[in-house]
Amino acid sequence: MSDDEPMDQDALAAEWEAMAEDGDDLDLASEWEAMVGAEDEEQELPTVGGGPERILNQDEIDSLLGFSLSDDDSGDKSGIRAIINSALVSYERLPMLEIVFDRLVRLMTTSLRNFTSDNVEVSLDNISSIRFGDYLNSIPLPAILAVFRAQQLDNYGLLTVDSNLIYSIVDVLLGGRRGTSAMRIEGRPYTTIERMLVQRMIEVVLDDAKQAFAPLTEVDFDLERVETNPRFAAIARPANAAILVKLRIDMEDRGGRIELMLPYATLEPIRKMLLQQFMGEKFGRDNIWEGHLATELWSTKMEVHAVLDEQKISLGDVSNLKVGDTFFLDATPMSDVELRCGAVTLTRGRMGRIGHNVALRLNGPLTPGAKKAMMRFA
Q: What is the pLDDT of residues 82-120, one digit of tens each?
A: 666 555 545 557 778 888 999 999 999 999 999 988 888
Q: At what angle do helices 95-116 and 192-213 cross, to 10 degrees?
A: 140
DSSP 153: T
What is the rounded distance in angstroms from the CA atom of residue 190 to the CA atom of residue 167?
A: 10
Ordered by start, the domain boundaries in the chain are 91-282, 301-311+332-377
In this predicted structure, the answer to whether residue 215 has a pLDDT above a threshold of 60 is yes
pLDDT for res 360:
80
What is the rounded distance in angstroms from the CA atom of residue 34 to the CA atom of residue 259?
A: 64
**What residues pair up with 145 in beta bridges, in sequence order?**
160, 227
Angle at 104 between CA 191 and CA 200, to 5 degrees: 20
pLDDT for res 68:
55
- Does the domain at residues 91-282 carry the CATH identifier 3.40.1550.10? yes
Residue 166's SS3 state is helix
DSSP 280: G
Q: At what angle do helices 192-213 and 163-173 cross, to 10 degrees?
A: 100
pLDDT for res 111:
92
Render pLDDT for 286-321 as a digit per residue (tens, 0 to 9).
667 778 888 888 888 888 888 877 888 888 888 888
**What integer is the mean pLDDT of 227-244?**
88
Q: Burial of 143 by CB count in 10 Å (0-12 exposed, 13-18 middle, 19+ buried)? A: buried
In this predicted structure, the answer to whether residue 48 has a pLDDT above a threshold of 90 is no
Residue 324's SS3 state is coil
pTM, whole model, 2 decimals? 0.55
> How many Cβ atoms sit within 10 Å of the Cβ of residue 278?
14
Q: Residues 257, 159: contact at Cβ < 8 Å?
A: no
What is the rounded distance in angstroms from the CA atom of residue 159 to the CA atom of residue 202?
A: 8
Mean pLDDT of the chain: 77
